[in-house]
Chains A and B, each alone.
Chain A
Amino acid sequence: MELHDLWFVVIAVLWTGYFFLEGFDFGIGVLTKLLARDRPERRVLINTIGPVWDGNEVWLLSAAGATFAAFPEWYATLFSGFYLPLLAILICLIVRGVAFEYRVKRSGERWQRNWEHALFWCSLLPAILWGVAFGNIVHGVEIDADKEYVGGLLDLLNPYALLGGAVTLSLFTFHGAVFAALKTTGEIRYRARSCATWLGLLATGLAAAFLLWTQADQGKGSSLAVLIVALLALAVAVGAIRAGREGWSFAFSGLAIVATVAVFFLVLFPAVMPSSLDEKWSLTVSNASSSPYTLRLMSWCALIATPLVLLYQSWTYWVFRKRIGTQHLADSAH
């Protein structure tokens, strides 16, 4: 296994961590309008991810930074090529981050309502756009001989990619609903369960369509195996949440996300951004990567830092392991 193959795996792991963790963050954001009936319930949902959303978001920054360091060509082509979708994602992440922190800082009705709207829309949009972006990466876009994306914005909004967006949105919302059922107490917990059941069925249908399309289009043996894991995991997650086994359900909805991202990357390998114009213009792990020295250096960093990060982030989840309900909300007169 060459170093750039290892780094392909590391980047895949970072994106997987991001989607697994921020997946339920986005889901909770969307559910503030789907599931919560009033402000206290919305606050309960927001507070299930209160202490951890920021740390979850850093997985994205790490994925971007690691891509810059390990595959500069990929970083440059992807971010300059998908300019407008990325701009929309960034705007959402900015507003969403501020919404978490500032919503509670004033008690005015309009102030709180506006931030809640912002939180909903800025969770919904990135959840869709990440799927659209990855759908396009996997499917291949118009990349010319200079490694530049030469397509337009509308080329990115093709049916396959839009279906990918629907898949990530439904998966994340399902994941979020299961997380909500796992972390709350009282009435909202039971509503989260029934909501999760429906969302799970929707996510399973969409994911099956999208993954089978991907498989038919450009699948391999390994991606077929992982695809089956993804769909089975979704089925188990739905069954578990119906049976009230929230912990198991969360583990399997998470596994479904991990497997879906794994399908993306398995189909992609050894390319990192295939060109739909000509195969020889595709960006691959070998022609887009950094020098061996940089990759070796980065490997040491990742090898030491990543387990530590997993360790102290898990500890955070353990510290805040208690369920919360409306009775636990602090007086909002901050």
Chain B
Amino acid sequence: MALAPETLSRWQFGITTVYHFLFVPLTISLASLTAGLETAWVRTGKEKYLRATMFWGKLFLINIAMGVVTGIVQEFQFGMNWSDYSRFVGDVFGAPLAFEALIAFFFESTFIGLWIFGWDKLPKRIHVACMWMVALGTILSAYFILAANSWMQHPVGYRLDKGSGRAELTDFWLVLTQNTALAQAFHTLAAAFLTGGAFMVGIAAFHLRRGKHVPVMRTSLRLGLITVVIAGLLTAVSGDLLGKVMFKQQPMKMAAAEALWDGEKPAPFSVFAYGDVDKGHNSVAVQIPGVLSFLAHDDFSSYVPGINDVNKAEQERFGPGDYRPTIPVAYWGFRWMIGFGMTSFALGALGLWLTRKKFLLPRRLRTGEEEVPRLVLLRAPLGARLSRWYWRLAVWTLAFPLIAGSWGWIFTEMGRQPWVVYGLFQTRDAVSPGVSQGEVILSMTVFTLLYAVLAVIEVRLLIKYVKAGPPELTEDDLHPPTRIGGGHGDGDGDAQQDRPMAFSY
């Protein structure tokens, strides 16, 4: 079987990118959540907030290490495996990447160093400001790279140069602010916070089920649940917005997401479909009438074009060829994304309701700081068995958004095939002509194996530190320096000379 030249490069990009994105949403959200917890400590002076900051901060660092190193590969991969793509779009695509590095990456990397090593070098207000800087850096970096990806989904603000045939940038502001980029960034960031919130809920539930580290984990649980509910709602809202944008810009992707072969009016939403791609129709289809029209255009009766219609239209526009993505991947990717994402949101909403403890409850149901929040429903507490079930489910919650995020991106990226820049440039024209199949096989094998080993190491470390629980505080932790560089303002210079560092590698 002869492989198409782009097949291996596509697999490699897919593997490395999905892998990178396992760490990205956690990094984005945990940076802000950790910064929030530290801010709570600085403002209230309550020890539980500091312990929570250190606990989540540690998990955040284990995770960001992997996020950073897997990200390095992405910066070079365009040139290595997709050199013709890089030549064609570099003028447009390179700018957001360079902005990202010059502005966001420097921010993140510099201030995370200050945060890790700065516990005994920086006054607490400056220390917490460093974490906010990291959080800002992660969000900015996400925005720039999503603007770049959105340009591939919906190219704007460019012209084709007659002489060289390249895309040339004409309006950078438009590239940054087109509705695809805005909706994509809104959706991705909301989903990232859903992921971080669920991560917090899962780990807090793990400890609360055993009745351990209650004050810290109670706080974390509530923070996580609130994050899950708000971010979950925003994810749904932004997903709907993004869907409407996609129906306009990439009808093929949305038709494939619904396995809608022929345009219908009104168009149904597919619950389950099994079809024959070669013949271009479904053999089994379970549908809810009219809902797809509503998703696309906010009414229950409008026309939505199907896969075959769009394929025909694109053949007329771009010449002969097959313009269909892999339908089953798009169809199921779309469903797993929504299913897993909304399941974690539902569990979060349930948890928020079950663990509320104040005001309207009879006194005997209220719990103190040192007790596990009693799961209450209406008037009677949940039975012990039901409580156990809830904690168990809550632990599993942490995996759902990760799965949803991966499938969401697989759907987004595979749904636009065969295009790498939609309507402009096809994936098969994008690969590096000078790179042999052997080289790509080698690099793909090496990356896959290395990433797999590192993933095992990372997950085992996370488990170790999750089980260890929040650290006990020392006097030094509670009394950070008052001057930059580590002075405490009490003039015992010599005694401070040989104090061990708060953290060292």
Please list the residues of chain A having a beta carbon within 8 angstroms of any beta carbon in chain B.
43, 46-47, 50-55, 57-58, 61-62, 64-73, 75-81, 83-84, 86-87, 90-91, 93-95, 97-98, 100-106, 146-150, 290-291, 293-294, 297-298, 301-302, 305-306, 309, 312-313, 316, 318-322, 324, 327-332
Q: Is the CB of B113 within 8 A of A55?
A: yes
Cβ of B14 under 8 Å from chain A: no
Task: Give the contacting residue for B112; candidates A54, A57, A98, A329; CB below 8 A.
Answer: A54
Q: Is the CB of B169 within 8 A of A294?
A: yes
- If A69-B94, A291-B91 touch, whether A76 touches B443 (CB-CB below 8 Å) is no
Task: Give the contacting residue for A83; candidates B80, B122, B161; CB below 8 A.
Answer: B80
* Distance of A29 from chain B, by nearest CB (Å): 12
User: A331–B65 Cα gap in the complex (Å)?
Assistant: 21
The chain A residue sitting closest to B89, CB to CB, is: A72
Residue numbers in A under 8 Å from B501 (CB-CB): 47, 324, 328-330
Q: Is the CB of B101 within 8 A of A61?
A: yes
Residue numbers in A under 8 Å from B79 (CB-CB): 64, 68, 75-76, 78-80
Task: Give the contacting residue for A76; candidates B72, B83, B486; CB below 8 A.
Answer: B83
Cβ of B452 under 8 Å from chain A: no
Residue numbers in A under 8 Å from B100 (CB-CB): 65
Task: Give the contacting residue for B83; candidates A67, A79, A290, A328; CB below 8 A.
Answer: A79
Question: Which residue of A51, A100, A103, A332 has the most chain B CB atoms within 10 A of its CB atom?
Answer: A51
* Distance of A298 from chain B, by nearest CB (Å): 6
Q: Is the CB of A328 within 8 A of B500?
A: yes
Residue numbers in A under 8 Å from B485 (CB-CB): 318-319, 321-322
B98-129: CB near A (< 8 Å → 1, else 0) gives 11111101100111111011100110000000
- If A79-B80, A80-B81, A294-B169 touch, whether A306 touches B102 (CB-CB below 8 Å) is yes
Q: Is the CB of A105 within 8 A of B169?
A: no
Question: Which residue of B97, B98, B168 has the most chain A CB atoms within 10 A of its CB atom?
Answer: B98
Q: Is the CB of A329 within 8 A of B121?
A: no
Cβ of B318 under 8 Å from chain A: no
Q: Is the CB of A62 within 8 A of B102?
A: yes
Task: Give the contacting residue for A101; candidates B61, B72, B87; CB below 8 A.
Answer: B61
* Distance of B4 from chain A, by nearest CB (Å): 18
User: A75–B75 Cα gap in the complex (Å)?
Assistant: 11
Task: Give the contacting residue for B94; candidates A86, A294, A329; CB below 8 A.
Answer: A294
* Distance of A3 from chain B, by nearest CB (Å): 13
Residue numbers in A under 8 Å from B81 (CB-CB): 80
Residue numbers in A under 8 Å from B89 (CB-CB): 72
Task: Give the contacting residue for A301; candidates B103, B109, B111, B435; CB below 8 A.
Answer: B103
Q: Is the CB of B450 within 8 A of A76?
A: no
- If A62-B102, A97-B68, A293-B170 touch, whether A77 touches B94 (CB-CB below 8 Å) is no
Q: Is the CB of A58 within 8 A of B101?
A: yes
User: A55–B130 Cα gap in the complex (Å)?
Assistant: 14
User: A103–B168 Cα gap in the complex (Å)?
Assistant: 46
Q: Is the CB of A66 within 8 A of B109?
A: no
Q: Is the CB of B106 within 8 A of A58?
A: yes
The chain A residue sitting closest to B72, CB to CB, is: A93
Residue numbers in B under 8 Å from A328 (CB-CB): 498-501, 504
For the complex of A and B, the 4 pairs showing the least CB-CB separation, nearest first, are: A72-B90, A79-B79, A69-B94, A68-B94
User: A80–B80 Cα gap in the complex (Å)?
Assistant: 4
Residue numbers in B under 8 Å from A87 (CB-CB): 80, 442-443, 446
User: A302–B101 Cα gap in the complex (Å)?
Assistant: 11
Please list the residues of chain B having a beta carbon within 8 angstroms of any beta carbon in chain A.
61-62, 65-66, 68-70, 72-73, 75-76, 78-81, 83-84, 86-87, 89-95, 97-103, 105-106, 109-114, 116-118, 121-122, 161, 166, 168-170, 172, 432-435, 439, 442-443, 446, 450, 454, 457, 461, 464-465, 484-486, 498-505
* Distance of B450 from chain A, by nearest CB (Å): 7
Q: Is the CB of B110 within 8 A of A55?
A: yes
A-B contact pairs, 24 of them (CB 8 A): A43-B505, A51-B114, A54-B109, A57-B109, A61-B101, A62-B98, A62-B105, A65-B100, A66-B102, A68-B86, A68-B97, A69-B98, A77-B83, A79-B76, A80-B432, A83-B80, A83-B443, A84-B439, A100-B65, A148-B83, A148-B433, A316-B113, A319-B122, A330-B501
Question: Which residue of A102, A297, A302 has the most chain B CB atoms within 10 A of its CB atom?
Answer: A102
Residue numbers in A under 8 Å from B499 (CB-CB): 328
Q: Is the CB of B87 within 8 A of A73?
A: yes
- If A52-B113, A70-B94, A80-B435 touch, whether A102 touches B102 (CB-CB below 8 Å) is no
Task: Give the contacting residue for A98; candidates B66, B94, B122, B172; CB below 8 A.
Answer: B66
- If A47-B501, A55-B113, A58-B101 touch, whether A290 touches B80 (CB-CB below 8 Å) is no
Residue numbers in A under 8 Å from B498 (CB-CB): 327-328
User: A83–B79 Cα gap in the complex (Å)?
Assistant: 9
User: A86–B79 Cα gap in the complex (Å)?
Assistant: 11
Q: Is the CB of A297 within 8 A of B72?
A: no
* Distance of B481 from chain A, by nearest CB (Å): 11
Q: Is the CB of B114 within 8 A of A65?
A: no
Q: Is the CB of B439 within 8 A of A83?
A: yes
Could you list 17 further interchain pairs (A-B, Cβ under 8 angstroms) beyond the known A52-B113, A316-B114?
Answer: A46-B505, A47-B504, A51-B116, A53-B113, A55-B106, A62-B106, A69-B95, A76-B86, A79-B79, A83-B432, A91-B446, A101-B62, A105-B62, A150-B434, A297-B95, A298-B98, A329-B501
Q: Is the CB of B110 within 8 A of A97?
A: no
Q: Is the CB of A319 within 8 A of B484?
A: yes
* Distance of A39 from chain B, by nearest CB (Å): 12
* Distance of A289 from chain B, by nearest CB (Å): 9
Q: Is the CB of B106 within 8 A of A305?
A: yes
Q: Is the CB of B83 within 8 A of A291?
A: no
User: A294–B169 Cα gap in the complex (Å)?
Assistant: 6
Q: Is the CB of A294 within 8 A of B65?
A: no
The chain A residue sitting closest to B91, CB to CB, is: A290
User: A61–B97 Cα gap in the complex (Å)?
Assistant: 9
Q: Is the CB of A90 within 8 A of B76?
A: yes
The chain B residue sitting closest to A88, CB to CB, is: B446
Q: Is the CB of A69 within 8 A of B500?
A: no
The chain A residue sitting closest to B93, CB to CB, is: A68
* Distance of A148 from chain B, by nearest CB (Å): 4
Q: Is the CB of B505 within 8 A of A76?
A: no
Question: Which residue of A78, A79, A106 has the most chain B CB atoms within 10 A of its CB atom?
Answer: A79
User: A51–B116 Cα gap in the complex (Å)?
Assistant: 7
Q: Is the CB of B114 within 8 A of A72?
A: no
User: A233–B500 Cα gap in the complex (Å)?
Assistant: 36
Question: Which residue of A53, A100, A291, A328 has the most chain B CB atoms within 10 A of its CB atom?
Answer: A291
User: A319–B118 Cα gap in the complex (Å)?
Assistant: 8
User: A331–B435 Cα gap in the complex (Å)?
Assistant: 49
Q: Is the CB of A293 within 8 A of B68?
A: no
Q: Is the CB of A75 within 8 A of B90?
A: yes
User: A150–B433 Cα gap in the complex (Å)?
Assistant: 10
Residue numbers in A under 8 Å from B113 (CB-CB): 50-55, 316
Question: Which residue of B102, B103, B500 has the most chain A CB atoms within 10 A of its CB atom?
Answer: B102
Residue numbers in A under 8 Å from B502 (CB-CB): 330
